[in-house]
Amino acid sequence: MMLEPFPARDLHIGQPQPDPTVVVDQALPVYDPARQLSVITHTVKLQGRSTDVHGKGQTPVESRTVGCRTAPSDDRMVLHHRGDKQVLLSDPFSRFAQWLEFAWYRYYSNQSTHDLPDIIAHADASHGWPYFRDQLIGSIVSGAYTPDVVDVVDLPKDRLSVRPLARMSIQDQLVYEALVFSAVELIDSRISDAVFSYRWSKFKGDLRSPKGAWVRMQDQARLLQAKYPTHMLAKTDITSFYEHIEVDILLEDLQSAGVDQWTRDRLEAFLRAFQRLNAVWGIPQGSDASGILANLYLVPIDTVLRRRGLEYVRYSDDIAMFGETWASLRRELLQINRVLRGRHLSMSGAKTKILTAAEAIEEFDDGGKDAIRYGVSIGAPMAGAEVQKMFDTATATYPPNARDIRFALNQFTELDDNYAVSWILGNLAKVPHLAPESIKYLESFRSVLTPVDDSTILEMFASREFADYPYAEHHLLCFLLRRGVHHSKVHEAAWKILSDRNEETYLRETAARYIGLHAGPGDGALLKQEFRTERSDSLRRALLVALYESRQFYGLWLDDAAEAVPGLALTCHYLKTNPIIPLPPVRK
């Protein structure tokens, strides 16, 4: 999805500016217009007129611009606002500003891949991006920036276990990613070719896709198996890896990688404030920036394995290595554990195992899925039947095979086959951790779903049978929002969720959005009351949107809210433009 453009009302960081009317701070280096940043941008409005950035004449004032699409180079200078002047920032400020544009483009355009997409798809940040960006740069340059308190959300891995997700504010996410991505090429140059996670592609100017990286790792493991058919396989990973990454050790690694002092200082300040404010350890979970740092943190493991002549593959902290005997692999695992202890990490005993050569073949054998995937891609006559057979087998066991169900749903979507719809509607309670994939699949058949199907989802949500799985409830309610389903039972359940401060904040935000869109008499007053007593700014933001969509308040109230809660000024300004607010995107 392309980045939604924002109005070209002022100068934007990253735009080459040959126009002589730009005011340049004489203390800063002179800008060379030949060094042009790689951006998707066409116009910039200067002193009441619109000028083509390449100096080719007039263009319409209503033309729009967007941010940095590809990674910037380190030698480019950047424009920034200082009062009524546009000044040129020198390194390292310019590099951070460029990478902030890149982080914004990346974050905004990839929203549908986020575990918890924003309740209004960050339409307020998009609308006010120039102002929002300059405020962030100003606070970073001045040293006044501190991260917000985060929600640590438990996302389901299966019916029983969960993984933590640091749900950062958008400004924290952008600052964190801009700082880390500004050093990504230095970091990636130190990572072994045997590592497949969070790798930088110079060709793309971005990280390689996670799905493609996982497939490449599996392919490489199969090649190693073919090369050493009698070798055994040792597999391990690290207990609570991100949570036990030590900031002091990480900073030494960054210095060793050649990352400049300015970036290290600000990254240190960010991470220490993140830990201090949130009573957490390690680095934020859920951000690609953390994946990049995690790769660097395990470089000593890669070094040891390479020096000892081992063939291995690694995806983040998942390590698989080949050896001739059980005893030799055990020795290697013990050596790895010694290195890990020096980094305050430890191997997961439950996930550490040594497999025979025959078992190793099965570990990476996705040949059946590869054949099905290929058949689907070329439109083979029996491809659909093969997917249906796999789905039936996966759902016949207890508990159902979640991995195969995910695969089958993706292939059904490619085939435009609604074979699994009835099973999902009748059995989602058995696999609540598959709610994102199930809802995505159902939404691919929007035109064929019936009111009866909508009623089934409605009853699932209204009955609160997923109350122990708020992540599933969130996806069910988003489905009802996007389908425009209005029912008193859903309305009542949404109010129960919103009023319960023990519920997850992200679920309460979704409930507020539903109430606002389908507000009844008196809901506006009750939403105002919730706003006045609520402490979470993210939930206050959702309540503002709900009030706006309820049409049960005066516009001047937005001015009062912006003054009372400065962190909501961007949202208030956006709502005053009387927008049609986008719904949360379908998670992909």
DSSP sequence for 338-360 = HHHHHTT--B-TTT-EEE-HHHH
What DSSP assignment string belongs to 250-289? HHHHHHHTT--HHHHHHHHHHHHHHHHHHT--SS-TT-HH
CATH number at residue 400: 1.25.10
Nearest to 395 by CA among 386, 385, 405: 405
With respect to residue 148, please indicate whether it lies within any of the assigned structural domains: no
Burial track 382-404 (b if 16+ CB lie within 10 A, e otherwise): ebbebbbebbeebbeeeebbbeb
The crossing angle, in degrees rounded to 10, of helices 505-517 and 537-550 is 10
Instruction: Give the Cα separation of 84 and 163 in Å (integer).
Output: 47
**N- to C-terminal Cα separation, the chain:** 12
341 and 436 belong to one structural domain: no
Which helix (H) or strand (E) segment is 548 a member of?
Answer: helix 537-550
462 and 342 belong to one structural domain: no
The residue whose two tokens read 């964190």 is 176
With respect to residue 101, please indicate whether it lies within any of the assigned structural domains: no
Among residues 330, 364, 398, which one ends one of the domains?
364
Which helix (H) or strand (E) segment is 171 a member of?
Answer: helix 170-181
The residue whose two tokens read 């939604």 is 4
Among residues 312, 329, 364, which one ends one of the domains?
364
385 and 355 belong to one structural domain: no
Phi/psi for 389 (5° steps) reads -65, -45
327 and 439 belong to one structural domain: no
Nearest to 220 by CA among 195, 257, 256: 195
Instruction: Look up residue 57 and give its two tokens.
Output: 């004449």
Instruction: Give the Cα separation of 514 and 509 in Å (integer).
Output: 9
Question: How many domains are contained in the chain?
Answer: 2
389 and 275 belong to one structural domain: no
**Strand 162-167 relative to strand 206-207, pairing:** unpaired
Instruction: Look up residue 336 and give its two tokens.
Output: 């790895």
Domain that holds residue 498: 381-577
**Strand 151-156 relative to strand 85-89, pairing:** unpaired
Say what the alpha-carbon torsion angle 52, 58, 61, 63 is, to the nearest 10 degrees. -50
With respect to residue 83, please indicate whether it lies within any of the assigned structural domains: no
306 and 455 belong to one structural domain: no
335 and 229 belong to one structural domain: yes
Which helix (H) or strand (E) segment is 461 a member of?
Answer: helix 451-462
With respect to residue 150, please indicate whether it lies within any of the assigned structural domains: no
Sheet holding 232-236, edge to edge: 311-315, 318-323, 232-236, 353-355
With respect to residue 202, please indicate whether it lies within any of the assigned structural domains: yes
Q: Cβ neighbours of residue 438 under 8 Å, at least 6 residues apart?
A: 409, 424, 428, 431, 475
Instruction: Look up residue 271 and give its two tokens.
Output: 């991470």
341 and 192 belong to one structural domain: yes
195 and 241 belong to one structural domain: yes
State if pTM tops 0.95. no
Instruction: Give the Cα separation of 254 and 43 in Å (integer).
Output: 38
With respect to residue 300, please indicate whether it lies within any of the assigned structural domains: yes
CB 517 within 8 A of CB 547: no
496 and 411 belong to one structural domain: yes
471 and 549 belong to one structural domain: yes
Phi/psi for 429 (5° steps) reads -60, -25
Instruction: Give the Cα separation of 474 and 188 in Å (integer).
Output: 36
Among residues 364, 390, 414, which one ends one of the domains?
364
With respect to residue 547, please indicate whether it lies within any of the assigned structural domains: yes
CA distances 384 to 112, 387, 396, 397, Å, are 27, 5, 18, 21
With respect to residue 69, please indicate whether it lies within any of the assigned structural domains: no
pLDDT tens digit at each of 588 positions of the chain:
332 333 333 323 233 323 322 222 323 222 222 232 333 232 222 223 232 222 333 332 232 334 555 666 544 444 444 444 444 445 678 889 999 999 999 999 999 999 999 999 999 999 999 999 999 998 998 888 989 988 889 999 888 998 888 899 999 999 999 999 999 999 999 999 999 999 999 999 999 999 889 989 999 999 999 999 999 999 999 999 999 999 999 999 999 999 999 999 999 999 999 998 887 789 999 999 999 999 999 999 999 999 999 999 999 999 999 999 999 999 999 999 999 999 999 999 999 999 999 998 888 877 688 889 989 999 999 999 999 999 999 999 989 999 999 999 999 999 999 999 999 999 999 999 999 999 999 999 988 899 999 999 999 999 999 999 999 999 999 999 999 999 999 999 999 999 999 999 999 999 999 999 999 999 999 999 999 999 999 999 999 999 999 999 877 889 999 999 989 999 999 999 999 999 999 887
CATH number at residue 282: 3.30.70.270
CA distances 383 to 188, 237, 371, 411, 509, Å, are 39, 35, 9, 9, 41
348 and 400 belong to one structural domain: no
